[in-house]
Amino acid sequence: MTKPLVAILSGAGISTDSGIPDYRGPNGLWRKDPEAEKLVTYDYYMGDPEIRRRSWQMRRANGALDAEPNAAHVAVAELERSGVPVRVITQNVDGLHQLAGMPARKVLELHGTARQVVCTTCQVRGPMEDALRRVEAGEPDPPCLSCGGVLKPATVMFGERLDPVVLGQAAAISKACQIFVAVGTTLQVQPAADLAGVAADHGARLVVVNADPTPYDDRADEVIREPIGTALPELLHRIPAFGRP
């Protein structure tokens, strides 16, 4: 039996059990505090030192780097270790898929990573932990140590373009996979949401695992509304049954 290529598109919902809040849900950060969106909007961030200072304090306080993978992340990594070809396309910046054991080369981070910082002038990268230590030591807006430029998290902020290479790789995987699982994502943010349609157009079995309805539910072969921490492991355990002789 040939093992199917499984593509997993993960959104914020897969990480809420790890203590990382979503952004657009009923209790999401942007709904609770619309002003917070400015802290991750490129033009505001680059143009206002006070926004940058608040942004650094937000990152220092939210403890995201201390989050641990949950059962859903672990199930994805276990499926990959079982020999099933798995590729993760994630809208998240938390790095929890890799911490759970997914090889980094098999994870495409559409929106970058919050575990690194990048200089907006010379593009040098470094660990977010180092930058946060500098903030804790009294630097409210730590500049790049190489050139003095403005540091930002290595995430795609509002107003920035997604990396076209990463997006192209994600599209190629979506076209090639036999099973496409969209988990914890509203499938409303483009261009990531389009990947579900691309997969379905190319004959993949489309499964949506999300608490709320998505625009792609009517195209899905299966829609699961159960809690992700239990529903995704159960679904992934069934994956070998979808294999093709």
Q: Say which residues have a Cβ less than 8 Å from residue 6's Cβ, sequence separation at least 6.
A: 79, 84, 85, 86, 87, 177, 178, 179, 180, 181, 239
CATH superfamily of 1-20+69-111+161-245: TPP-binding domain (3.40.50.1220)
The pTM of this model reads 0.91
* Tens digit of pLDDT at every position of the chain (245 positions): 578 999 999 999 999 999 887 665 555 555 566 678 889 999 999 999 999 999 999 898 887 889 999 999 999 999 999 999 999 999 999 999 999 999 999 999 999 999 999 999 999 999 999 999 999 999 999 999 999 999 999 999 999 999 999 999 999 999 999 999 999 999 998 889 999 999 999 999 999 999 999 999 999 999 999 999 999 999 999 987 665 43
Q: What is the pLDDT of residue 245?
A: 38
Query: Active-site residue 111, yes or no?
Result: yes
Q: What is the pLDDT of residue 1?
A: 57
Q: Is 228:11 a contact under the CB 8 Å cutoff?
A: no
> What residue ranges do the domains of the chain occupy?
1-20+69-111+161-245, 21-66+114-155
Residue 135, number of CB atoms within 10 A of its CB = 16
Q: Is 133:122 a contact under the CB 8 Å cutoff?
A: no
CATH of domain 21-66+114-155: 3.30.1600.10
H or E element in which residue 96 lies: helix 96-99
Q: Which of 73, 97, 111, 202 is catalytic?
A: 111
Q: What share of the chain is helix, strand, coil (3-state, %, to 5)?
A: 45, 20, 40
Q: What is the pLDDT of residue 244?
A: 45
Phi, psi values for residue 50, rounded to 5°? -65, -40
